[in-house]
């Protein structure tokens, strides 16, 4: 709370009526999650079109596979998202590493959150392409996916996601993907 008050005193412009956010030099701080991100790096200074709680509810109600895996949202910004997959022993494959499909599922869900953070709750936005490179062994710990939008057009959203094992600096995977945005809902 001290950080929020400090940023509120130093901010250069009004928060645009979004009372739960504080703006300072291209950074936003969420009053309800404490999350910060640099909007200049994400290529935008607009507010996200859905909250952490709203995306967690989508996971619970409409992505049963992600909910059963225990996936949850850490932060959402406009064009960015950070999701977490808590470690379970059932995720480990022979060799003592987390199985690739778990990493792929987390990366794809993170892309969905990133897309929705910019276009809103357009649930028919779907993956049209997905590519992943596995870079290092995923140690038996929580997986953290950090995604960002690279380009948003009227019909397509292009994103990338980096996945880390919690507590390790080296990424375990890097994924890129494209989501198709339904024209009728996007233009409405």
Residues 106 and 27 in one domain: no
In this structure, are residues 22 and 7 in contact, taking their beta carbons and an 8 Å threshold? yes
Classify 141 in phi/psi space as left (phi over 0), alpha (psi -120 to 50) or beta: beta
Q: Is 143 part of any domain?
A: yes
The answer to whether 187 touches 123, Cβ cutoff 8 Å, is: no
Same domain, 88 and 117: yes
What pLDDT, on a 0 to 100 scale, did the predictor assign at position 123?
80
141 and 102 in contact (C-beta within 8 Å)?
Answer: no
Task: Kindly state whether residue 43 falls inside one of the protein's structural domains.
Answer: no
Could you tell me if residue 95 is inside a domain? Answer: yes
Tell me, yes or no, whether 114 and 180 share the same domain. Answer: yes
Q: How far is it, in rounded angstroms, from Cα 181 to Cα 121? A: 11
pLDDT confidence of residue 99? 94
pLDDT score of 102: 96
pTM: 0.74
Domains: count for the chain: 2
Per residue in 92-121, pLDDT tens?
999 888 999 999 999 999 999 999 999 999
pLDDT per residue as tens digits for the range 52-88: 999 999 999 999 999 999 999 999 999 999 999 999 9
Regarding whether 59 and 28 lie in a shared domain, the answer is no
Same domain? 96 vs 162: yes
Band (pLDDT 50/70/90 cuts) for residue 45 is low
Q: Are residues 12 and 95 in the same domain?
A: no
Residue 21 structural domain: 2-34
Q: Is residue 45 part of a domain?
A: no
> What pLDDT score does 164 carry?
96
Q: Are residues 111 and 146 in the same domain?
A: yes
Rounded Cα–Cα distance for residues 37 and 35 (Å): 7
Angle separating helix axes 100-119 and 52-62, nearest 10 degrees: 130
Instruction: Give the residue with greater pLDDT, 121 vs 3.
Output: 121
- C-alpha to C-alpha distance for 73 and 114, rounded to whole angstroms: 11
Instruction: Say what the pLDDT of residue 184 is.
Output: 62
Pair 60, 110 in one domain: yes
């Amino acid at each position: 709370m001290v950080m929020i008050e400090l940023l509120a005193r130093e901010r250069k412009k009004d928060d645009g009526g979004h009372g739960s956010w504080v703006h300072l030099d291209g950074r936003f701080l969420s009053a309800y999650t404490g999350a910060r991100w640099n909007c200049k790096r994400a290529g935008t200074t607009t507010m996200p079109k859905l909250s952490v709680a709203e995306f967690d509810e989508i996971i619970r109600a409409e992505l049963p596979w992600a909910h059963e895996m225990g996936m949850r949202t850490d932060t959402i910004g406009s064009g960015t998202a950070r999701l977490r997959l808590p470690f379970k022993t059932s995720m480990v494959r022979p060799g003592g590493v987390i199985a690739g499909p778990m990493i792929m599922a987390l990366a794809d869900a993170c892309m969905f959150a990133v897309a929705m953070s910019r276009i809103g709750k357009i649930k028919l936005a779907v993956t049209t392409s997905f590519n992943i490179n596995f870079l290092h062994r995923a140690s038996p710990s929580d997986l953290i996916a950090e995604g960002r939008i690279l380009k948003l057009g009227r019909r397509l959203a292009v994103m990338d996601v980096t996945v880390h094992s919690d507590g390790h600096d080296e990424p375990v995977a890097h994924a890129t993907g494209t989501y198709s945005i339904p024209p009728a809902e996007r233009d409405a």
